Structure 1
Amino acid sequence: MFFQNYKYFINIIKIHFLGLNRILENKLLLNTIYLIFLILFLMLIVFNFLYQDIKQYIFLIDSTFIETIIWIIPTLIIFFISFYTIKSSFYLNPFKNIYFNIKPLIIEIISLNWKWGFIFPYQKILSFNEICIPILIPIKLFIISNSIMNSLCIPKVGFQLYCMTNCIKYAYFLPLKHGISHGFSSNYSGVGYKYMRINLFLVTKKTFFYWINIIHNSKVFNIKNYNKIIKKGFFYYSKFFNIRNNKVFFIIFKKK
């Protein structure tokens, strides 16, 4: 039963995630698990060898050699795992650009009560509670809150971003595989926070531009729409707008 559950857990980690950061994080987790099992296996072999005939090794009682081994081996194990973890953490820094030779797609995120707004400034579109992203292209996210502190979590992609008013945060990530993911607010922000859910579609570049062109035919976003949307409430469905000003994100930021 244990090995069946372990195999199921490993398969979930290997195939269930869509973003480069999450895949590398899971690779780190798997390598750590393999290392721990290897250490346990070696320790079982050593102790089985030592204690198969206890009378033969009676001289090891109160042995300085055994005491030294008992302290040194765990210390080396902890040092090795710590070094591996720290090195991987710097490598997976979400504030570091993944590919310097590829221009990232800019997406600006606004937390509202109780909805998520996504601005594509160069494509000049605005969507609420739904987002479409091309795969194999670096993504740079900017995020801010229009009200209280909030947090956007998308587990399959592998990031969680906190946001608050008058503070712009950014992060990079790279989607690798096609798929559908769901995000949610992981920070309590009022009675409607459970409705702050998003649908994330990871698609090809061609499909992404098709999605953009469809939204360009939507209603133009203006200050009246903004005043309605910032009111407390939630959407049961996604909304899309065409924007003429690609600096909507910073205009909202200056109003705070």
Structure 2
Amino acid sequence: MFFKNYKYFVNIIKIHFLGLNRILENKLLLNTLYLIFLILFFMLIIFIFLYQNTKKFIFLIDSIYIEILIWFVPTLIIFFISFYTIKSSFYLNPFKNIYLNIKPLIIESISLNWKWMFIFPYQKILCFNEFCIPILTPIKIFLISNSIMNSLCLPKIGIQLYCMTNCIKYTYFITLKHGLSHGISSNYSGIGFKNMRINLFLVAKKTFFYWINSIKNSNFFNIKKYNIIIKKGVFLYPKFFNIRNNKVFFLIIKKK
């Protein structure tokens, strides 16, 4: 039963996780589990050997070679686990650009009550509760809250980032597969926080540019619309706008 569940868990990791960060994180977790099971397996063999050789039991208990073996091998494995974990943690640093020679796609996000605003400054579009990104392209997303502390969570991508007022945070990530990822607000921010759900579509670059061009025909977003939108309330459907100024994100922050 255990091996069936374990195999199912491994398949979930391979098929359903879409972001490079999440795949590497789960690979790190699985490799750590392998090494932990290796320690348990080694200790089990030692105890079985001791109890099967009852006549030599007293000799083995007093043997310095057995003590060295029992202490040295697990210590070596634990050292390797520590080294592997620390090295992987630096490699998976969310503030580090994965591909230094490729310019990332910039997305600016603002947490509102109770909705998510996503701005594509260079593409000059603005979205609420839904957006689209190209696969195999580094993404740099900035995040800030319009009111109280909130948290952007995209489980399949491997992102969970807290945001607050007057504090801009950012993270890098990259997606590897086509698909649909859902996001939520993982920090309670009021009665409407359960409606802060995000649809994230992962598509090819060509499809992404089609999506950008389709939104460019939408209504223009201005400060009057922003003053209406920031009022408490939820959006039952995603909304899309065209923007003239690619510094909307910083204008909103300055206005606060």
How far 1:249 moved relative to its partner? 0.2
Paired with 2:61 and 2:227, the residues of 1 have a C-alpha distance of 79
Letter aligned with residue 123 of structure 2:
Q
Once superposed, what is the RMSD of the aligned Cα atoms? 1.4
> Contact between 2:39 and 2:74, CA under 8 Å: does it hold in 1?
no
- 1:26-41 equivalences in 2 (<5 Å): 26-41=26-41
The answer for the alignment partner of 1:165 in structure 2 is 165
Give the secondary-structure state (helix, strand or coil) at the position aligned to 1:80: helix
> Contact between 1:18 and 1:157, CA under 8 Å: does it hold in 2?
yes
How far 1:65 moved relative to its partner? 4.4
Give the secondary-structure state (helix, strand or coil) at the position aligned to 2:172: strand
Give the secondary-structure state (helix, strand or coil) at the position aligned to 2:10: helix
Letter aligned with residue 199 of structure 1:
N
How far 1:68 moved relative to its partner? 4.4
The answer for the alignment partner of 2:10 in structure 1 is 10
- Say how many residue pairs are matched: 256
TM-score (norm. length: structure 2): 0.95
The answer for the alignment partner of 1:118 in structure 2 is 118
How far 1:34 moved relative to its partner? 1.7
Letter aligned with residue 224 of structure 2:
K
How far 1:64 moved relative to its partner? 4.6
Letter aligned with residue 41 of structure 2:
F
- 1:76-91 equivalences in 2 (<5 Å): 76-91=76-91
The answer for the alignment partner of 1:229 in structure 2 is 229
Paired with 1:35 and 1:68, the residues of 2 have a C-alpha distance of 20
Give the secondary-structure state (helix, strand or coil) at the position aligned to 2:137: coil
- 1:97-246 equivalences in 2 (<5 Å): 97-246=97-246
> Contact between 1:14 and 1:26, CA under 8 Å: does it hold in 2?
no
> Contact between 2:43 and 2:70, CA under 8 Å: does it hold in 1?
no
Paired with 2:54 and 2:209, the residues of 1 have a C-alpha distance of 73
Pair 1:24-2:24 in alignment: yes
Paired with 2:252 and 2:109, the residues of 1 have a C-alpha distance of 11
How far 1:80 moved relative to its partner? 1.6
* Percent of aligned pairs with the same amino acid: 82
Give the secondary-structure state (helix, strand or coil) at the position aligned to 2:56: helix
Paired with 1:120 and 1:12, the residues of 2 have a C-alpha distance of 32
Paired with 1:11 and 1:50, the residues of 2 have a C-alpha distance of 38
Give the secondary-structure state (helix, strand or coil) at the position aligned to 2:55: helix
TM-score (norm. length: structure 1): 0.95
> Contact between 1:152 and 1:185, CA under 8 Å: does it hold in 2?
yes
- Shifted more, 94-103 versus 118-127: the winner is 94-103
Letter aligned with residue 91 of structure 1:
Y
> Contact between 1:108 and 1:121, CA under 8 Å: does it hold in 2?
yes
> Contact between 1:180 and 1:202, CA under 8 Å: does it hold in 2?
yes
- CA deviation vs aligned residue, 1:10-43 (integer Å, no higher than 9, x gap): 1112221000111111111111122222333333
How far 1:71 moved relative to its partner? 3.7
Query: Which runs of no fewer than 5 residues in structure 2 stay unpaired?
Result: none
Give the secondary-structure state (helix, strand or coil) at the position aligned to 1:253: helix
- Shifted more, 91-100 versus 70-79: the winner is 70-79
Give the secondary-structure state (helix, strand or coil) at the position aligned to 1:46: helix
Query: Which runs of no fewer than 5 residues in structure 1 stay unpaired?
Result: none
Give the secondary-structure state (helix, strand or coil) at the position aligned to 1:54: coil
Paired with 1:113 and 1:70, the residues of 2 have a C-alpha distance of 58
Runs of 4+ aligned residues of structure 1 deviating over 6 Å after TM superposition are none
Paired with 1:140 and 1:43, the residues of 2 have a C-alpha distance of 46
- CA deviation vs aligned residue, 1:149-181 (integer Å, no higher than 9, x gap): 110000000011111111111110011100000
- Shifted more, 10-19 versus 43-52: the winner is 43-52
Paired with 1:48 and 1:68, the residues of 2 have a C-alpha distance of 18
Give the secondary-structure state (helix, strand or coil) at the position aligned to 1:109: strand
Paired with 1:117 and 1:3, the residues of 2 have a C-alpha distance of 43
